[in-house]
Amino acid sequence: MSQPIAAKPRAVSKRTIPWNVIPFAAIVATMVLLALAAPLVAPVDPDTQNLLARLKAPGTVSRGITYLLGSDELGRDVLSRLIHGARVSLLVAFSSVILSGIVGSALGMVAAFYRGWIEVLIMRLVDIVLSVPAILFAIITVAVLGPGLVNVVIVLALTRWPRYARVAYGQTLSVANMPYVRLARFMGAGWPRLLGRHILPNIAGSLVVVATLEFGLMVLFEAGLSFLGLGVQPPMASWGAMLSTGRNYVATAWWIATFPGLALFLLVLSINLIGDYVRDRLDPKAR
Q: What is the sign, positive or negative, of the torsion defined by CA atoms of 119, 171, 167, 89?
A: positive
Domain 79-286 classification at class level? mainly alpha
pTM of the shown model: 0.82
Residue 72 near residue 163, CB atoms below 8 Å:
no
How far does Cα 80 stand from its chain's mean position? 22
Residue 77 near residue 44, CB atoms below 8 Å:
yes
Residue 225 near residue 240, CB atoms below 8 Å:
yes
Q: What is the pLDDT along the chain (287 residues), one digit of tens a residue?
A: 445 444 444 443 445 667 778 888 899 999 999 999 988 998 888 888 888 888 888 988 888 888 899 888 888 999 999 999 999 889 999 999 999 999 999 999 888 888 788 889 999 999 888 888 878 888 888 888 888 888 889 888 888 899 999 998 888 888 777 776 666 666 666 667 677 666 788 888 888 888 988 998 899 888 888 888 888 888 888 898 899 888 888 888 899 999 999 999 999 999 988 888 887 777 554 44
Q: Where are the domains of the chain?
A: 79-286
